[in-house]
Chains A and B, each alone.
Chain A
């Protein structure tokens, strides 16, 4: 069943037109849906429109197949977790969790039952009498989640809930939120600017930029078949390597510096010969063992991550990064052999930035394993 549906949703302010434009989207019940984009892309605005905190300028918003454009937030049967948690500082954890239930006229007995249940689930039982000031960042986050859980609203909205936590705690809370959502069968709409968060948490992801949908899809699709240059460079870390390219005499020439011979099977249905941009992921620039090396590149930076090594090369005016498994003792200035092949490259139109052809060989060496 479709839980949330948006038809041609639009948002404009008096002094700013088209903050959001042409948003068409359906979110399934029980789905973990992530809205991701850089700041100012309109993702938070969209979330707040769903919540009813912002007016909808145009289009239709349906929740549970009912049009809700005109309904106030409290009548939309949803809960929301804010970036700063929005905890009432003068109330105890218990009062904070129960605050909304009083308004919904939930019976006292039922309130207590839900409180105990939720506190146990969130590991807050010991902290019920404390004030938010006496809690750590992670505990506050849990109280905010508890407040959302206790409402029993089937739709939960989260606006960058993890961005105030340190990196370790964030990684932990990602798993907790994810588990909670599955356990309770919540429909989740989750806003973040962090693509790692989007990739690791979302069943499906919508990439938003400048108020327009760039692409909607599951994490793997977004990674392997980015719809345009924006999505390609936004998703994935380290960033995808890009370079302008032309096709001349059965050769692909990248940034005027790398020449790769190509066959018709390599480029498939690409008719266009000029104004191409190719993208290749860092893990697809391999170490070129003696017989397999295609190019030799000069190392300009080395980053040791322990289990893998990042090497940076200069290609024309672009910096490309290669990610090699294991520890490599390369030094700045060394010339290292690499293997770059066309089958790993995605082709984009430089003018429209749209994808022309995704990498043909993503599934061969680095298979998406189905368990």
Chain B
């Protein structure tokens, strides 16, 4: 199909304008993080000087490195937990036949209807009573079980020909070995997709870390940013922006790398 030239120009024009509008908030923040406070306060759009001072200051005055490390640990732990639990559950739903499977599957669907926000009060009490406030356990454990992840992987496992399972049954390969050595390697792409998604959402988590951390020991970078914003107040925009840019950098890079896979994987898991 060939697109006429004038149509192409219209498309490029629309695409460019949309991109500028969508990207503007991030670009403005990015350029501000390199601007002197004076430039910002006088409302300059194009900086008169380039400075790394904001970045130095944000690390200096703030345990930002600590927060970053906490976020990294929390996100990776949640990601791994989700991958393990979702893949185990998906395996049971695809490859195992047993009484009550359909009921359990319905239970998994039902969990999608309970918003985490609606059950946050007892969850807070649980974590508090277990003494898990300000621990990685308290930050991560509630998010391991995941219906969406289970469905996404179930969809992917279903693509594996059932003859492979039968062949391994005849050869005498047990379910756990089959899960580890055949199913997981074959579903690599979906696992990566789910991993990226899990990491992104965990890194960006807001309400739960706000409740379950009370000091800096395990506080995540998002809550750190909240603190930074409320403490610094209006006059230190450069420092705040530098902090924000550092917070979004890891997820943006991850997103750019995994965008294609995410796009395919999420649509498949969501719709079939």
Contacts and interface: CB of A to CB of B under 8 A. Distances in A.
Direct contact between A and B judged by beta carbons closer than 8 A? yes
A104 B171 contact: yes
Interface string A74-100: 110011101110101110000000011
Contact of A78 (B163, B166, B170): B170
B182 to A, nearest CB: 6
Interface string B180-195: 0010011010000000
A74 B166 contact: no
Given A74-B172, A103-B173, A89 B167 contact: no
A152 to B, nearest CB: 12
A32 to B, nearest CB: 20
Nearest to B188: A90
Contacts of A104: 171-172
Given A82-B163, A88-B164, A53 B169 contact: yes
Contacts of B99: none
Contact of B161 (A52, A78, A84, A99): A84
A73 B168 CA distance: 9
Size range of the chain B interface in the assembly? 10 to 19
Given A82-B163, A84-B163, A90 B171 contact: no
A82 B166 contact: yes
Given A82-B163, A84-B161, A103-B177, A89 B169 contact: no
Best-surrounded residue of B170, B173, B177 (most CB of chain A within 10 A): B170
Size range of the chain A interface in the assembly? 20 to 34
Nearest to B162: A86
A51 B170 contact: yes
A84 B161 CA distance: 9
A78 B169 CA distance: 11
A118 interface: no
Given A89-B186, A100-B172, A103-B172, A80 B161 contact: no
Given A104-B171, A151-B171, A80 B177 contact: no
A72 interface: yes
A74 B169 contact: yes
B186 A73 contact: no
Interface in B132-178: 161, 163-164, 166-174, 177
Contacts of A53: 166, 169-170
Contacts of A99: 168, 171, 173
A309 to B, nearest CB: 43
A86 B166 contact: yes
A52 B170 CA distance: 8
Contacts of B173: 99-100, 102-103
Best-surrounded residue of A78, A79, A82, A84 (most CB of chain B within 10 A): A82
Nearest to B160: A89
Best-surrounded residue of B167, B172, B177, B182 (most CB of chain A within 10 A): B167
A86 B186 contact: no
Contacts of B161: 84, 86
B172 A86 contact: no
A52 B182 CA distance: 21
B126 to A, nearest CB: 41
Contacts of B171: 74, 99-100, 103-104, 151
Contacts of B188: 90
A86 B168 CA distance: 9
Contacts of B163: 82-84, 86
Given A73-B166, A88-B182, A100-B168, 6 more contacts: A73-B169, A88-B164, A90-B186, A99-B168, A99-B171, A103-B174
7 tightest Cβ-Cβ pairs between the two chains A and B: A100-B171, A74-B172, A86-B163, A86-B167, A82-B163, A103-B172, A73-B170
5 contacts: A51-B170, A52-B170, A82-B167, A90-B186, A100-B172
